[in-house]
Amino acid sequence: MSWIEAVLRAIAAQKHLPYGRSKEGSDVVEGATKSCEWLTDEILRRGDHVSCVYSVMETLMDAMASLDFEDYRNEHFICAEDMQELKEWCFVYDDDKRQGIAGGLEELGMGRIIDVSEARAGDVAQIWDTTDGKVVFGHSVIILGEEPGTKYPALTTWSAEPNEGNVRSWRYIEQPNASKLREWIVGRPGF
């Protein structure tokens, strides 16, 4: 099974909507509905307030597990400590981890950072929108390919969205609002 096949299988198997900012009347649950373990370590806890980073990390962990990356005999074996470190990058724990999941893949030798123009299905990204040099929005996504039929070039993504949970969505590559800048930090997993 290829990397993108594993990612798509992980997405299809998700039966919950993990996003922690649901509004009244929304069917989106409050907090994560399952915990995610790697080897014997709990990486993501059930009940955690969650958002896009939880969704991306859970999807990656499920895809990696389906490819037997927990088996030390596998050439792509990932130890629990590295999985915990990847989570810290995905969740942008501090300014040193500003590159998000893409930077974590590169730092841990699991992939490399590429230009957004090279993005393809199965890549991951940290997106930052800024206005007047100040970050106004950050988002973590799994890239599913190019989005057809949009006014400006865009990518189809998988992530958690407020009041929607895990969904297929899309993002313009460049922010069409001239007063804002969009930065994509794209990571290509090396599997």
Among 69, 65, 8, 5, residue whose Cα is nearest residue 34: 65
- For residue 162, what pLDDT is reported? 67
- For residue 30, what pLDDT is reported? 55
Separation CA 28–CA 83 (nearest Å): 27
3-state secondary structure of 87: helix
- For residue 17, what pLDDT is reported? 55
Which secondary-structure segment (H or E) carries 62? helix 52-66
Separation CA 166–CA 179 (nearest Å): 29
Cross-strand pairs, 135: 130
One-letter amino acid at 47 equals: G
- Across the 191 residues of the chain, what is the mean pLDDT of every consecutive 10-residue run? 95 68 56 81 77 87 95 93 94 89 96 97 95 86 95 92 75 88 96 88
- For residue 163, what pLDDT is reported? 61
- For residue 101, what pLDDT is reported? 96
